[in-house]
Amino acid sequence: MGIQVDMRVAELLCSRLCHDLVGPVGSVNHGIELLEEGVGSLIGEATQMIGQSADQAANRLEFFRVAFGLSGGGAGQMSMAEGRKLAEGFIKQDVQLHWPAVDGLPWGDGEKRVPKDVIKVILNLVMLGLDCLPRNGRLTLSQAILPEGLGVALVVEGPRAQIKDEIQKAISPGANCDSLNARTVQPYFMAKLAEDLGMDFEIFSPEADCVQLAVIIPLEI
């Protein structure tokens, strides 16, 4: 079917993407400016800045392409290992991601034909988890086979980790896209994605400084 969204949602998603890309792209420009100044002592620093920032921008673009793009492009498939690599490239330096490979899953690391919708859901889960983490912390992602399908759980731990009120409103069934902004459009998208794919999705805070997100992905997706 595909997700049907309001034009405002598309515009806000573009704003979110631009916000997350402006930092590394700006650093590339700054590095180029340092090179143009021709100061010998700054050349090494500028080259390193350009390389790191260009890699960061490329990683984020590839992450967004899968997380928000059409999954039917090409074969519409990729591996779970590729999805993990995308998540690792997107994670901030002060956040740790623990996503171990698990044997015996229908979409394990050895399976190269994982539907991109599965990866899309997990990447959006990771992105939403990061938005619940205002400072440094840790994301732990686990997977298990359940009677209903593949269960994916993400535990977010860190100082002041919490479900913001605006996120809770954005994922609620009655959420109005007119009230969204660039910070809340991704949680709204995640909820709509889960609804469109017939998935059970929940987010809750079992204790202070901890948020848990979970989704059950049907195996016939």
HEC string of 172-186 equals CCCCCHHHCCCCCHH
pLDDT bin (cut points 50, 70, 90) of residue 7 is confident
Q: Is the dihedral of CA 82, 83, 89, 94 positive or negative?
A: negative
Q: Average of pLDDT values for 195-213? A: 94
Q: How many residues does the chain have?
A: 221
Split at pLDDT 50, 70, 90, the class of 66 is very high
Task: Calculate the dihedral angle through the C-alpha atoms of 179, 181, 184, 188, rounding to the nearest 10 degrees.
Answer: 60
**Model confidence pLDDT, tens digit, residues 41-65:** 678 888 888 888 899 899 999 999 9
CA 53 to chain centre: 19
Provide the H-helix boundaries in 69-164: 80-90, 116-131
Q: Which residues pair with 146 in a beta bridge?
A: 149
Beta bridge partners of 200: 216
Structural tokens at position 162: 């919490």
Instruction: Map out the domains of the chain with their CATH numbers.
Output: 7-217 (3.30.565.10)
| Mean pLDDT of the region 79-91 | 92
Taking residues 119-124, what's their average pLDDT? 95
Residues in Cβ contact with 72 at an 8 Å cutoff, skipping those fewer than 6 apart: 116
Judge whether residue 72 has pLDDT over 70.
no
Give the residue-averaged pLDDT of 77-105.
90
pTM: 0.89
